Amino acid sequence: MSRGSAAEDADVSLYLHAELLPNIRQITLYISPPQTPALTGIQPEIQLSGSRKAVTVTLQQPFDHVSETIKLPTRVSDATWRTLNAKTAPSAPSKPGQSTSSSHDYSFRMQIDPSEQALAPRDELTDDHVPWTAADMSSSTRIRCRACGTAFLNESILQESSVNEGLDTHQGWVWKDLPSGNWAEMMDFWHCHKPDPHEDDAKDEATAALRIEEQNAQVKGYGASSRVEAIPGNVLIDVATFLLAESDCVGLKKSSEEESKSASTISGQRTLECEKCNSIIGMEDPSANGWRLLKANVSLNTEKDNEESWTTHSTEVIVAAQLLELIERESARRFVVHCGKTSGLLLWVFNPHLRYSNSSSGHSVNDQQAMKVFYQEKEDVDKLLAPEIGQPSPLSVEELELPSMIFQALSDTLHRSSQMLPISARKFNEWQVGMLSRFSREKGTSTLQQAHTP
């Protein structure tokens, strides 16, 4: 073999990608051979494992040493043996089991085994998608900078309060989940539709009952004038942030107003930076009288006696949780995502619970969990959110404003994940196709690694 042929042979590799389609109980398998002249007429041969949970693809001679194996998202039916043993040569493009003229990808549809539960319960699709809730925390949980490890919780305050109360033990932090985003609307509805007092009730009894009700509303947080506010010694948790009192934080500094404007934080809030490495950690929240720390920019340790047990969650996992929360709350699948600028992204969450596997470097051999997202870059998001008079208004489009660094990380992830997909699966009409890893308490988090281009 010549030197040129040897070099070309060394670059020959296969790329495999499989996606579960639970509604039709099928798995789509993509095979992307390298686009080199030496492979003209060379077709892949597919073998199914004995367990019917993995496939191995091998090229024909003289490239029969090139092989790739992936595990499938679920077991396929016994009839798949006959489907995959059939001739793989395409006779027409754009059909299952055949290649497309533009990308040379092969795709196959495989039926799921009848005994496999391909459709997950609905609760699994919407619940438990938020990382780091109060249930995951303990009184000794610590928060630090993801970049340099600077601690952000002021432990001395709780220690001092314990001494003042005559206690010889550290009380620890109290972690509380904030209500869902439609909490305010629910309270407005309750106040507008409160039951009227019965006519036979005495006037003084009704007045007394109303007074008690108003007091309870303020104490329990469902009064019309009540609002979320940071409480010293408590960490309030929502989907994307931790809300703390300013006095409970150390190692943080407020940025200047000019720096905050350039950082494009939500609603012009001043950013909070790590005192050691100057990384943006969160933002000031005057309405809640506290500071919000971004989950994507910190790491947590929930084990008091294990200094090495620090966990993090990627930006895409946090944003995916925000999108899932909006899907559950607003029943919308299309979102205008921006960072306060005129440009942004139009997202269509096509599949909020995708199971897939592929042969990208760095990926686990097991199937991954993600959201399949169609997206478009938009130069003027205001036209989508507030169209001009006489222009059609988009239906069921929700707005999601993100800090600029979170938005940029989201955009980069979508573009990177799109490059990871087979060429024939990267576009759907005018939409680009990408994926966002999502959190699941059953399987933990899966993170999309560096893109692999077939």
Say how many C-beta atoms besides its own lie within 10 A of residue 444's C-beta: 10
Check residue 22 and give its pLDDT.
Answer: 85
Greater confidence, 272 or 119?
272
330: burial class by Cβ within 10 Å (0-12, 13-18, 19+)? Answer: middle
* pLDDT-wise least confident of 157-161, 222-226, 231-235, 429-433: 222-226
The partner residues of 68 in beta bridges, in order of sequence, read 57
The two tokens of residue 100 are 């497309």
- Residue 89 predicted with pLDDT over 70: no
430: burial class by Cβ within 10 Å (0-12, 13-18, 19+)? Answer: exposed
- Residue 10 predicted with pLDDT over 60: no
Check residue 205 and give its pLDDT.
Answer: 57
DSSP strand E in 203-311: where? 234-237, 241-244, 252-254, 271-274, 280-285, 290-294, 298-301
* pLDDT-wise least confident of 49-58, 101-110, 140-149, 192-201: 192-201
Check residue 11 and give its pLDDT.
Answer: 59
Q: Is the dihedral of CA 141, 145, 149, 150 positive or negative?
A: negative
Q: Give 206-248 pLDDT, tens digit per residue.
A: 555 555 555 555 544 555 455 688 999 999 999 999 999 999 9
End-to-end CA distance of the chain: 25
- Residue 429 predicted with pLDDT over 80: yes
Q: What mean pLDDT comes out for the span 101-124?
A: 71
Q: Is the distance from CB of 377 to CB of 343 less than 8 angstroms?
A: yes
Check residue 4 and give its pLDDT.
Answer: 42
- 96 upstream amide cis, omega within 30 of 0: no
Q: Which amino acid appears at position 30 of this protein? A: Y
* pLDDT-wise least confident of 54-63, 150-159, 283-292: 150-159
Q: Give 265-318 pLDDT, tens digit per residue.
A: 565 678 999 999 999 999 999 989 999 999 999 999 987 777 778 999 999 999
